[in-house]
Amino acid sequence: MRLTKLGHACVRLEQDGTTLVVDPGAFSDPGALAGADAVLITHEHPDHFVEDKIRAAVQAEPQLRVFANRSVGGKLDGLGDRLRVVGEGDTFSVNGVEIAVYGELHAVIHPDIPRLTNIGYLVDGQLFHPGDALTVPDRPISTLMLPAHAPWSKTAELIDYVREVQPGRVVPVHDAGLSDIGRGMVQNLVGGGGPKTDVSYQPVPDGETVEV
């Protein structure tokens, strides 16, 4: 699988001729959805989902299908069979690439802020993007897209999350709010300079592609 990071939480995944894009939000590359077969949306926050961007892509890309939870789906009325609402426990396939859905709720930002729904996607049984939650899949995975920085998280929680999931590698996302110094601090703590995690920490600069 080829992974391209396209800004903040957005990644483009290419497997056997099929292209999936996860969370092309307000901080993502404007061309993230060009040529994509499917877009997977974890939740409705604007750094993960922009309604106008999705609608424009559906108009421009006749093959594009949209997968999202019920809250996001409710904002995309009129897309007909181009949209599929999915939730915890669902599985589906995009051109033979198998995807499983995990999780139900966004992490707690503050007790005074209501929690949104949030789902994560396990792609081809190997790469997991949790959105804005520290959801633990029920099977071993090779690549974890780790939300490296958020109003709801602290690095100690990320370390414990990586220890619990025990992926083969971590690729940090959700990091637009960090400077290069901040990214380095998280990498040092989660990737070996802090408490032991025994996991390869592999940052991918925006616009670059790696094999996972």
pLDDT digits 0-9 by tens, 160-174: 999 999 999 999 999
Domains delineated in the chain: 2-194 (3.60.15.10)
Name the DSSP letter for residue 82: G
List, in sequence order, the alpha helices (H) in the chain. Answer: 51-60, 70-73, 155-165, 180-188
CA distance 5 to 73: 25
CA distance 29 to 50: 12
CA-to-CA separations, 110 to 72, 146, 149, 151, in angstroms, rounded: 22, 21, 15, 9
Instruction: Say what the pLDDT of residue 194 is.
Output: 84
Predicted model pTM: 0.96
Question: Two tokens at 159?
Answer: 């370390």
Is residue 145 a contact partner of residue 134, using CB atoms and an 8 Å limit? no
Kindly report, residue by residue over 2-50, the tens digit of the pLDDT.
Answer: 999 999 999 999 999 999 999 999 999 999 999 999 999 999 999 999 9
Percentage with pLDDT > 70 across the chain: 100
Percentage with pLDDT > 90 across the chain: 97
